[in-house]
Amino acid sequence: MAKLICPALEKTDNLGVREMLLTSAIGDSPRICQEMYLRFALFLMVDVLMLVPTAWADSYAYNDVSTGVIHLTDRPLSNDYELLLKSPAELVSGNETKLNQSKMFLSRGVRRKELEGLVAAASHQSGVQPELLHAVISVESDYDQNAMSSKGALGLMQLMPETARRYGVSNRRDPAENLMGGARYLAYLLAIFNQNVKLAVAAYNAGENAVIKYGYQIPPYKETENYVKKVSVLYEQYRKSLIQ
């Protein structure tokens, strides 16, 4: 519990320490001063609590007119206490979500750094730009080598069993094998679609036959359209070194 004492007059002792007094030559000064301090306390609490929102609880105040002391607490001790500031649950929840997102972003960055060597090797052997490989990995698995989709795609590049067999991947959970298989598949798609990155990416998601079926255009599937947009944005960011 905190206490605020409202000063109307001040005096300084022989040690230079100022002492707050409650008496005043102005009749109603203590009451006015208490109201002013109560408002100040409210603003101060808001500033502090915005810095630590996860610890934000309901706050109560009691203005003891007889002593000039304002009591602040998160647990009212009597009916004399009034609610000063209510804890907004949605704000706490929102900040916890942001905190979790920050942790996820940090983990993703660490995983990406650990795999840069493998991505560079797969890029060198396949001829696919490392920036494109990073963009596809980001969207496909978020750099989680154990990621598995509901359709059975597995690993960093989310290879399906038939695609893995097609490109000689015996262990889809192995990061190096999975990356190499996905890179070789992307190189093939870029070749048949005349190095058109968006069509190759669309084919990686929906299959090359779907792109061909729709006249060498991105298939009108919502999932594929969103997939191409996400990969394209990340690809440009990696190319411009906006993602470190």
- Domain coordinates in residue numbering, the chain: 2-87, 107-239
How many angstroms separate the first and last alpha carbons of the chain?
46
In this predicted structure, what is the pLDDT of residue 14?
A: 43
pTM greater than 0.85 (yes/no) = no
Taking the C-alpha atoms of residue 202 and residue 75, their distance in angstroms, rounded to an integer, is 58
Q: What is the pLDDT of residue 111?
A: 77
Q: Spell out, as residue ranges, where the chain has pLDDT lower than 70.
A: 1-63, 65-66, 68-72, 74, 77, 79, 81, 83-109, 242-244
Beta bridge partners of 59: 85
The single-letter code of the amino acid at 21 is L
Hey, is 20 helix, strand or coil? Answer: strand
Q: Is CATH 1.10.530.10 correct for 107-239?
A: yes
Give the tokens for residue 71: 């009591």
- Condensed to tens digits (0 to 9), the pLDDT of residues 56-74 reads 466 666 667 667 666 667 6
Instruction: List the structure tokens of 56.
Output: 């934000």
Q: Residue 241 has what pLDDT?
A: 78
pLDDT for 105 equals 43
* pLDDT computed for residue 113 by the predictor: 83
Residue at 159: amino acid letter: L
Answer yes or no: 140 catalytic. yes
Of 19, 114, 140, 177, the active-site residue reads 140
Q: Is 73 exposed, middle or buried (0-12, 13-18, 19+ CB in 10 A)?
A: middle
